Amino acid sequence: MKGLLDSTAAVPDLVVRHGSGLPDCDLPRLSIVVLSLDGKHLLEGFLDSVRAQGYPSDRLEVILIDNGSRDGTPGVVRTRWPWVKLVVNTENRGFSAGCNQGARMATQADALVFLNNDIRLDAGFLRELVGPIVRGECQATTGKMLSWDGKLLNSAGGGMNLHGIGLQRGYMHPPEPRYDIPRKTLFACGGAMAIDARVFHESGGFDEEFFAYYEDVDLGWRLWVLGHEVHYVPAAVCYHHHSSTSRRLPYETIRLLQTRNPLLACVKNYERQNLERVLPVALGLFLRRMRLTAGDLDEQPFRIEHARPAATGLISRVWRRFLRTPEHGYELSRLAVADLLAANDLLRAWPHWMERRESVQSRRKRPDADIIDLFLKPHWIIAGDPTYVDLQEGLTELFALDHVFAGRTDDEPLPVG
C-alpha cells in the first residue's frame, strides 16, 4: 500500500474524485472484522456475499467475533464456514471492544474492514471501498448503505449536530444522483467502513468505554483532528437490515449509550475554546430532553408555594421524624433514569475524561475550523417540543455558537423527534 500522509491542510471542498476499482495486482491484504450476537440467522447472506466478492483468498481473511451468543452461532460457523476465523467471547463485550479485539488479530492486514453481520455486499464492494485508501487519497472510507430492498438509503456518509448527535446522510431518502458523488465525510459508519490498519491502531481504534453507538462518530472525528481524512465511496454498495440486533435489547440500555456517548465525543474532540461554548449548551439541552422523557410528573409536592407549614408541637415533630424514612422515593420513568445515569457517567469521572481528552488534544493536527463543515447540520434540533426549540435557539445565541458554526453545507431535511 502507498504510505499515508498526516495532512494538516484545510478541507475547502467536500466533494472528492475517486478512481475506479483496483486491479488484483494492487489489492491490499484485508482483514474483515464482523461481530455477531445471536445473529446465526443473518450470517448466510452476509458470508455468501463476502465469498462472492472474488477477492483473492490469499489477501483476505474474515474474523468473526461472537459476543456471547446463545443461539448456537459458534457451532454453525465452525461447521458451515470453516474458513472464517472465529473468536468466542463468553459475554457481550460491546461493539467497540469486539472490533478492537478482531483488529488486534489482524496482524498481516494492510487495511481493516468493519462490517455489520446484517448486510449483504454488492459485487465489487471491497475493491471500491479500499481503493481510495490504497491510492493515498484518504485513510478511511465508508460505503453507500441501502435498505435491504434497495429502495431507501440507510447511509451516504455521516455528520452530526453541534452537541454530538450523529446523523446518517440520506437516511430514509430514495437514492438520488447527488448520493452518487464521492465526498469527504465526518465519519465512516461502523457497519461498512475500511481504514488503513496502521492508522487505526495509532489513532487508538474504537473507544471501548463507549461500548456501542457513536463509537464510529468519535473515531471519525478523531481521525480528522489527528490530520487524516475519511471519504464516502458511493460505488461501494451494500444492503442493510436496520438495527437487527439492538431492537432485541431493552430500550433503556440503548438510550443510556445514545445520550451519553455524544457528550463524551464532544468532551474528547472539540478544541478548548469551542468546548467551553458547546458543553454548557449540550448539558442544558440534555437536561431539557431528560425532563421531556420523564413525561407527566406531579411537580406540586416539590413546589414551595403549595407547601403547608407543619405543626410545631413536640408530638408532631416526633411523628414527622418517624414517618421520614430514607426509603421514601419518587417514581421516574426508566428512560429518564437512563438519561440521569448517562450524564453522571461523564460528571462523576471528570478527571478521567479530562485525561482522555488530553490524549487526543495533545496530538491535534487540524483545527476545528477545518472540520466543522463536515458536521453538515450543526444546528439540527432533535426534539420538536416548542420549549426545547426555544431553549436551543436561546442558548445558541447566548453562547454565540452561530460564530462557530457559520452556515450549513447540506440542505437535506431531517426528521424532528
pLDDT at 249: 80
Evaluate whether 144 touches 153 at the Cβ level (below 8 Å). yes
Q: Is the pLDDT of residue 274 over 60?
A: yes
Q: Is the pLDDT of residue 243 over 90?
A: no
User: Which residues pair with residue 231 across a beta bridge?
Assistant: 141, 184
Q: Which of 182, 104, 107, 78 is nearest to 137 (CA)?
A: 182
pLDDT at 101: 98
Give me the chain's average pLDDT, please.
Answer: 90
Q: Is the pLDDT of residue 124 over 80?
A: yes
Q: 393 or 331: whose pLDDT is higher? A: 393
Query: Computed from CA positions of residues 216, 371, 132, 241, in that sequence, does the dihedral angle turn out positive or negative?
Result: positive
Residue 203, H or E segment: helix 197-203
pLDDT at 21: 64
Residue with cell 431518502: 173
pLDDT at 303: 86
pLDDT at 7: 43
Residue 25 C-alpha cell reads as 495486482
**Secondary structure letter of residue 10 according to DSSP:** -
Q: Is the pLDDT of residue 284 over 70?
A: yes
Alpha carbon separation from 87 to 64, 104, 153, 251 (Å, rounded): 6, 12, 32, 27
* ∠ Cα 115 48 119 (to 5°): 35
Q: How far apart are CA 91 and CA 192, in angstroms?
A: 24
Q: How far apart are CA 257 and CA 276, in angstroms?
A: 23
Judging by DSSP bridges, how do beta strands 119-121 and 230-240 pair with one another?
Answer: antiparallel
pLDDT at 3: 40
Q: Is the pLDDT of residue 330 over 80?
A: no
- Residues in the chain, how many? 417
Q: How far apart are CA 21 and CA 364, in angstroms?
A: 32
Q: Is the pLDDT of residue 386 over 70?
A: yes
- N-term to C-term CA, the chain: 44
Q: Can you list the alpha helix ranges (DSSP code H) found in 121-196?
A: 125-134
18 falls in which pLDDT band (50, 70, 90)?
confident
User: Which residues pair with residue 66 across a beta bridge?
Assistant: 36, 88
Residue 115, H or E segment: strand 111-115
Task: Convert the pLDDT of each residue in 54-103 to its tens digit.
Answer: 999 999 999 999 999 999 999 999 999 999 999 999 999 999 999 999 99
Q: Is the pLDDT of residue 295 over 50?
A: yes
Q: Which of 372, 200, 165, 179 is nearest to 281 (CA)?
A: 165
* ∠ Cα 346 351 354 (to 5°): 80
Evaluate whether 86 touches 17 at the Cβ level (below 8 Å). no
Residue 34 C-alpha cell reads as 464482523
**Secondary structure letter of residue 173 according to DSSP:** P
Q: 2 or 52: whose pLDDT is higher? A: 52
Q: Which of 293-302, 307-316, 363-372, 377-386 has the lowest mean pLDDT?
A: 307-316
Judging by DSSP bridges, how do beta strands 60-67 and 85-89 pair with one another?
Answer: parallel
Q: 246 or 73: whose pLDDT is higher? A: 73
pLDDT above 70 covers what percent of the chain?
A: 87
CA 312 to chain CA centroid, Å, is: 57
Residue 245 C-alpha cell reads as 440486533
Q: What's the pTM?
A: 0.90
Burial 62-101, CB ≥16 within 10 A → b, else e:
bbbbbbebeeebbeebeeebeebbbbebeebbbbbbbbbb
Q: How many CB atoms lie within 10 A of CB 319?
A: 13
Q: Which of 9-18, 97-106, 130-139, 254-263 has the lowest mean pLDDT?
A: 9-18
Domains of the chain in start order, with CATH, are 24-248 (3.90.550.10), 251-295+332-404 (no CATH)
Question: What's the rounded mean pLDDT across residues 246-251?
Answer: 77
